[in-house]
Structures are given as C-alpha cells and as structure tokens.
A and B are shown apart, each in its own frame.
Chain A
Amino acid sequence: MDDYTNNIFFVVGCGRSGTTSLCRVLDSASNTECLLEPSPNLNRESRDMMEGRYERPFQLIAETVMQRAAVVLDKGLIYGEKNVTLGPFIPHLQKISNCRFVYVHRDGRDVVRSLLDWHNRMFGTIYRECKEVGDLSDRAKNAQASLPIELDSSDYSRPRPGSGDIWYDHWENFSRLEMCAWYWSRINALYLDKLEALPENKWISINYTSPDIADLLRVAEFLELEGLSPENIKLQLGKRINSLKDRIDEGNNFPRWPDWAPIDRIRFENIAARTMQRLGHYPEEYVRYCPPNYGEWWKQNEGGLEWYTWMYDSRLAAHNDFQYFVKHLDQTGRKVESLLDVGCGLAVGYADVYSDRRYVGMDLSGKEAEWCRQNRSNTKHAYITGDIIVSTPDEKFDVVFSHGTIDNSYDMDAMLKAMVACSNGWIYLTAYRGWFPELPEHRYSWDEGTTCFYNDISVAAVHRTLESLGCVEITVSPLDMGIREGNPIRYETRIVARVTAVESVV
C-alpha cells in the first residue's frame, strides 16, 4: 500500500516574516505544488478559533484544506500550502493528515517595520481600531476607504488581547507599533506552543531575518523536495519576494529598528522582548534597552532630605518588615555584617539603623551619593553612584536589598540578577506599585516626562528568574502596607530569596 505520510506540508508563521518568499521558493521544486494562501483562507475561523468560539475545526479542515490537498496529491505531487492563519489549527492538521510544518520566523522589529510600511503604503487596514490613523499614502487611503470592516477578513484574522492578557486594558491606547509588536509576539508564541507539542520530526523552523541558501536547502531536504538548485534559490531570494519593492516598486519607509526613537524601542521591548528571547533573536544574556535619557529627570530634580524622609515614613511598613527580617537573621545565627542598599537615595533610616555594620548605599544619581558622603560620616559606610545592572559591585554582601526601586528599573530581571551576583547570603526587595499575582510577565511602562519606567512586577516572572539563578527559599508575597492617606495601594510586593552556590552566612 502506498505510504502518503509526509506528502503534505504547511508553511506557517507570522505575516511579513518571509512565508510568501519561502512558499514561492519551495513551489519551484519539481515534486511539489506549494499554494500561496489558497481560498478559503480561514481568516475568520482562525480568529474565532483563537478566541474559543469555533466548534468544528476538523470538519473545517476536511472540507477546505484537505479538499485542495487531494487535488495535488492525485497528481502524484507533494502538497504544500502557505497560510498565516493556520496557527490555531496545527494540532488538527497534524492529526488529520500527519503533515509536516515549516515554521518561518523573523526578527520582530523587522516584522513590525514591515507591517507599518504595509499599513502606511499599501492597505491602511492593519488594526483598524488603532488610535493612530497612520501616515497613509493615497493608495493606502483609497484601499482603506474601499474596504468596510465587515468585509475585512484580514484585519479580523489578527488576534486581539483577551481579558486575561496583561495588555487587554491598555490596547485602546496602544500605538500601531505596539499593536504590531503584540501581534508578532502573540502569534509566534502561539506557533511555538503548538509546534513544540508535536513530535520533533514533524516540524522545522527557519529564521528568515537574513536567510541564506543553506537554510532553504535544509528545509527542502526536511520536506524531501527535489529539483531545487542553490542558483535558483539565490535568484529567488534576490527578488525580495512580496516586499514593498516587489509589490508596488517602493522602498521601505519606516526606519530600521536601530533608528527607531527610544520610545518606540521601549514600546517594542515592553511587549515583545520575551518572545524575541524565546526565538533567539535576543541573546540569552540580553539586557533590556535602556533609553539614553533614563533617569535624567531624577538627576536634575533634587529630592532633598525632607522629601526622602517623607518617602521613608510613607513606606514605614516596608522598612520595618525589612529590619525585622535582618533582626531575625541576626537572632538565628546568621548575623548580617554587611548590606548593600540599591537605590539608597539619601540613606534615610538605614545609615542610622545599621551604623554598626558595613553598609553601602548605591544610587543612580551622583547628587544623592555625594550628599551622603558629605553628610553621613561613618567609616564603615560607603556610597557609590552607578547602575547596578551595568556596574555590579565586586564586593559581596550578606544582604542586598532594595526598596521601591525595581519598579523603576529598565530591566527588572537584570536587576534581580545583579543583586544576586553581589550577595553571598540573601536578597530582599519591595516593589511599591502593588501586588500583581495575575501577571504572567512583567509589565513595563515608560514615562517620557520623568524619564523613568513604572513597572508592574510579575510574581511568576520573579520566581522564574530567581530559580534560574539558583536561589532557594524564594518568597514572593504581598506586603500589607496598611491604609495610607492619599495612597490607594494597600499591598506591595515583597521578594526574599537566599543565594546559593556560595558559603552561607553563619
């Protein structure tokens, strides 16, 4: 009996990632027909499926995809199809046809750029609810005005955040860049989740950011395609298939990501950094983008002793809790001899409480550290200016702590990592913006006015980071700050962890 296993494959991936280009290349093989978005393309069904509203996926696949596959199979050829809407149907496609998948991915920043150009120059219909209309060409304006929403299945097919998504409430105010970043991140995460659940021999991925001939030949070999020559592949890649140049003979308009405004780089990272890391477009040790003017406002605006004292008093519950923590360590045979205070300000409270111990205060602002050096004379104490992420002290401390600083960091995980790196005992942090047990990821937000981040810290993400750093006795818990006049936040986040792989404090 003939074996039709592996006679069907699907090219899948986020739109603008090179799927059309790959499809055209593969179609030139001698033993396949690879169709480009054949109808019906399942636009509406795809989104309904993602939102849990579609009830008959197998029937849909059987009545649509498999019908057209049958036509090609009857010719004795391998059937291939490219459709960016197939993500939610991957398990069903696999089950019905035992097919294989080629997953195409591309640097999210390039995809976002391409989507924005696609919107501004060609169609004007990418995320039509966006508060930005866009800088539309006449072609895009006409296309937009001619396509009523009820007929726009392409825009419908793009997912939107559900009520459980951390960006659900923010979506209304997103820029189009943010929406496209979210789309890229969401769709690629969907593809990865679906494909990683399949046997390894059923899918292959290709990074189409800068594809080379060897990558495409590897895909062809995986699919058992014949007749593809390096020369032909090189020719096809050179055509930049489906680019703006190819479609309407125009060059890209939106800048490449190194030339993005800092606010756009931040916006992209806020949303897509984790997927960039997951796909390997960011290195393992990637530190999030720090805008050039980060902290400038704080450096130029004096806090003053009165303000820092008021700040200390307004978060007394957090300071008391920390001091009890240190006292507990002292009383249980783990005397704390040295402490590093990250984001020390003017060292209000701590310079006095820990006058008998080695205490080092670290702050981003040189003014604060200088004031401390001038006004707090204790030979056991020191004050340094710096960003702990890039200037992690060589000295090791029994306890490295930070109050209400991580909320304003440009990379909370990197800050945790730096704190762990200079601790030979414990880390302790409080985050003043609240308690967010529902967040699967940190949620970053940048304010250009105060040149600072205002972040919501994810309990799950903190656990992941500290566990990956080998920490134990990790506690991430709500800290009851009591009812405070003028402050609606009742619970802050407290993080405590013991650092291992070093000798414990005795």
Chain B
Amino acid sequence: MSFLDRWLRRTKPYKVITHALSREEIVGRCKGTASAYKELGVVSPFSVYKQVVDALAINPGFEVRPMRQLMDPADGEKVIISLRHDLDGDIVTGVRAARYLARKGLPGTFYLLHTSHYYGAVENNVFCRFAGLESFIAELIATGCELGLHCDPLHLYCTYNINGAQAVKSEIAWLKSLGVKVSGSVAHNSAIVFGAENFEVFQHRSIAGRRSFSYKGKSVPLQVLDEGKLGLTYEGNYPVPPEKLDAGKVSEYLRLSTGDCVRNIEWLHYYFLDNPFFGRGYDVDIWLLACDAWVIAKRGEHAEVLWPVDTSGVLSYLSQLDGGVRVAVCVHPEYISGD
C-alpha cells in the first residue's frame, strides 16, 4: 500500500464542533422517530410505562436500584430491579420517563447514545454536537436519574473511519463538564451489526482477549480504553465474554439476525441466553419490544425466554421471583412514546 493510500485509510481523529441544531429541531426529530415506530405498530402508550413504575414503587418485595448498583450486595430478601433506558432515538420521551420516576422517587438509568440523531452528526469527518442537546441533559440531571453513555465507538470506526475510542473519551468528558456524574456505560447495538460488541473497546472486555477485529477489510482496534481512567465503574450489560467465539453459534446467530429479528423468539433466545458474543452477569432481562409486549429472559436454573408477555404478565412474573434475583428492565423510550 502506498504512503498516500495509508494516509487516506488512516483512522481520523475525533474532532468536535458545536452545531446550531436547536432544541426545537431535536424535538422534531424525536417526534419523527416516535411516528415511525407508531407506523410499525410497536408503540405503547406512556401509561404502560407508568403502570410498571407504579407497581415497582409500591411493592415492598422489590428494591429498585440504579444500574450501577445492580450487582451490589443484596440481603436476599427482595428482588433487585434496575430500570435501564437506552436513549437510542427519543430523548424527549426519555426525559418524560425520567420525570415520572422522579415523581415516584425511583431511580432509573438513562444512557445517552452519542451517535443518535438527537446528539450529533458527522459532517466532513467532524462530529457536530447539537447545541440543543444541553437543555435536555440539564433536564435529565434535574430529575436525579443516573446518566451514562450509550457507547457506539464501532459505528464511528466502521462507518466513518473516525476514532471511536476518542469519541467515547471525549463525550464522557463533555457530559462531566455539564455536571453529569458518569459512572457507567452500556454498549449500543450488538455484534450482529459490525462483528464486535461496543464494550470490547474497553480493556479486559474483549472476546477471547482480542485486540482488534476486521470490518470490511479494515482492522478496528479493541481494548483501547481504560474504564477506570474514565471514571467508569461498570458496563451495564455486566458482560461475561466467552473465552473464544463459537463459529457455529455465531453463524446461526447471524443467520437469524435479519429483518424484524428483535421480535423473533428464536433470535431473542440467542441474544439473551445463548449469545455467542457475551453472557450477562445478572439473572433476568425484561425488555419492552412492541405495543404492550415484553420479552422476559431468565438465565441460570430454569432458563427461559417468554415472548410476547403483556405488562400485567410482566408484573405477575416479577412478583413471583425469589428474593435476591437481579433483574434489568430495559425500555427504549421510542416504544413508550404513544401519547
């Protein structure tokens, strides 16, 4: 490869400017997302979220914790539940959810996707962070919720050839400059998109200890960030990477990863219970994936995936869990943007 070729193919540094996109324009984009999800028929009214939160607030058998404390010691008397909110596309409804939790005095964790259309965009190899975003972050801080980064360095590496690890570092620093106490992250998407998990950018979190992976002929570096130096104390999937990749399982998993796979029970089984890329350290995942339709995935003894389960069914399921069981309830706000 010539020097020029190498120069052109090098990973570009992460540079940031402030883009004038206003709060109102961000609201418009989020409404567009909400409409698109509504068109797909997967949106629940916000009352579904309220129903879950209300139930968690009044049940003395539940202990609701922020995600950073999900794996902290427990006395075994109560079911430990954390509310995870991946702010993929709708920060407006995300703020609404955080406010409802504040009204009830319950902790919730909200992960801001730094590559989302409400956060910023890459133009001419420069990341343009939207000016209107700050007011949303101020609103989230006001609610007292836990805020973290929904990590997506691989998108920057693979789509734009921009240093995604620098992006993670830079955005964490920026959020901290606004007063956010960032102590954790959660990886966006999954290995089905690029071939690696976004959390593999952190040291000691890669699969089989790999230091890079290949995407469309380009080598993408892994294990380049030290969570401790970034002030991060946890990764919200509490991932347990395998010692090596099972090629057969990977192949089957990728075969199923097409179309509307997130609502396919076979795929869900792989994703939550038999994921070739990583396991999870806690016991149960409950994710909202369609209109009043949740997936429940329980690991360990009597492992099972239940789909679809309505909200009443979810609450019944939670109430029969034994004390000490750790549950992550995951809501993407676009799924509760119904009214």
- The chain A residues found within 8 Å of chain B, CB to CB, are 44, 47, 53, 124-125, 128-131, 133-134, 141-142, 144-150, 152, 155-156, 160, 171-172
A-B contact pairs, 15 of them (CB 8 A): A44-B105, A125-B144, A129-B100, A133-B138, A141-B179, A144-B144, A144-B179, A148-B107, A149-B145, A150-B65, A150-B66, A155-B105, A156-B105, A160-B103, A171-B103
Q: Which residues of B contact A133 (CB under 8 A)?
A: 135, 138-139, 142
In the complex, the chain A residue whose C-beta lies closest to that of B96 is: A172
> Cβ of B143 and Cβ of A150 under 8 Å apart?
no
Which of A53, A131, A146 is B58 in contact with, Cβ under 8 Å? A53
- A47 CA to B181 CA, complexed, in Å: 28
- A146 CA to B143 CA, complexed, in Å: 11
In the complex, how many angstroms separate the beta carbon of A194 from the nearest chain B beta carbon?
23
- The chain B residues found within 8 Å of chain A, CB to CB, are 58, 64-66, 96, 99-103, 105-107, 135, 138-139, 141-146, 179-181
> Cβ of A149 and Cβ of B102 under 8 Å apart?
yes
In the complex, how many angstroms separate the beta carbon of A125 from the nearest chain B beta carbon?
7
A129-B99, A141-B179, A156-B105 known; A147 vs B139 contact (CB < 8 Å)? no
- A131 CA to B58 CA, complexed, in Å: 24
In the complex, how many angstroms separate the beta carbon of A63 from the nearest chain B beta carbon?
18
> Cβ of A149 and Cβ of B101 under 8 Å apart?
yes
Q: Which residues of A contact B99 (CB under 8 A)?
A: 128-131, 172
- A152 CA to B107 CA, complexed, in Å: 10
In the complex, the chain A residue whose C-beta lies closest to that of B64 is: A150
> Cβ of B66 and Cβ of A148 under 8 Å apart?
yes
Residue picked from B105, B139, B143, most chain A C-beta under 10 Å: B105
> Cβ of A149 and Cβ of B179 under 8 Å apart?
no
> Cβ of B105 and Cβ of A152 under 8 Å apart?
yes
- A124 CA to B143 CA, complexed, in Å: 10
Q: Which residues of A contact B144 (CB under 8 A)?
A: 125, 128, 144, 147-150, 152, 155
> Cβ of B106 and Cβ of A150 under 8 Å apart?
yes
- A149 CA to B96 CA, complexed, in Å: 15
In the complex, how many angstroms separate the beta carbon of A56 from the nearest chain B beta carbon?
12
In the complex, how many angstroms separate the beta carbon of A86 from the nearest chain B beta carbon?
19
By Cβ-Cβ distance, the 5 closest A-B pairs, closest first, are: A149-B144, A156-B105, A129-B102, A145-B179, A129-B99
Q: Which residues of B contact A145 (CB under 8 A)?
A: 141, 179-181
Q: Which residues of B contact A171 (CB under 8 A)?
A: 103
* A-B pairs with beta carbons under 8 A, tally: 67
- A426 CA to B339 CA, complexed, in Å: 45
In the complex, how many angstroms separate the beta carbon of B246 from the nearest chain A beta carbon?
40
Q: Which residues of A contact B181 (CB under 8 A)?
A: 145-146, 148
> Cβ of B179 and Cβ of A129 under 8 Å apart?
no
- A72 CA to B25 CA, complexed, in Å: 62
Q: Which residues of B contact A124 (CB under 8 A)?
A: 142
- A503 CA to B102 CA, complexed, in Å: 59
Which of A125, A129, A134, A141 is B103 in contact with, Cβ under 8 Å? A129
A129-B102, A149-B106 known; A142 vs B179 contact (CB < 8 Å)? yes
> Cβ of A128 and Cβ of B143 under 8 Å apart?
yes
- A44 CA to B135 CA, complexed, in Å: 30
In the complex, how many angstroms separate the beta carbon of B258 from the nearest chain A beta carbon?
40
- A156 CA to B146 CA, complexed, in Å: 17
- A142 CA to B139 CA, complexed, in Å: 14
In the complex, the chain A residue whose C-beta lies closest to that of B145 is: A149
Which of B58, B105, B138 is A149 in contact with, Cβ under 8 Å? B105
- A172 CA to B98 CA, complexed, in Å: 12
- A125 CA to B144 CA, complexed, in Å: 8
- A145 CA to B180 CA, complexed, in Å: 7
In the complex, how many angstroms separate the beta carbon of A123 from the nearest chain B beta carbon?
11
- A142 CA to B181 CA, complexed, in Å: 11
In the complex, how many angstroms separate the beta carbon of A151 from the nearest chain B beta carbon?
8
- A160 CA to B101 CA, complexed, in Å: 12
Q: Which residues of A contact B145 (CB under 8 A)?
A: 148-149
- A145 CA to B100 CA, complexed, in Å: 18
Q: Which residues of A contact B179 (CB under 8 A)?
A: 141-142, 144-145
A145-B179, A145-B180 known; A128 vs B142 contact (CB < 8 Å)? yes
In the complex, the chain B residue whose C-beta lies closest to that of A161 is: B103
A149-B101, A149-B102, A150-B65 known; A144 vs B107 contact (CB < 8 Å)? no
- A160 CA to B141 CA, complexed, in Å: 20
- A145 CA to B141 CA, complexed, in Å: 6
> Cβ of A149 and Cβ of B65 under 8 Å apart?
no
In the complex, the chain B residue whose C-beta lies closest to that of A51 is: B58
> Cβ of B142 and Cβ of A144 under 8 Å apart?
yes
- A44 CA to B145 CA, complexed, in Å: 18
Which of B96, B102, B180 is A128 in contact with, Cβ under 8 Å? B102
In the complex, the chain A residue whose C-beta lies closest to that of B179 is: A145
* Sample of 5 more A-B contacts, CB < 8 Å, known A150-B106, A171-B103: A128-B102, A128-B143, A145-B141, A150-B64, A155-B102
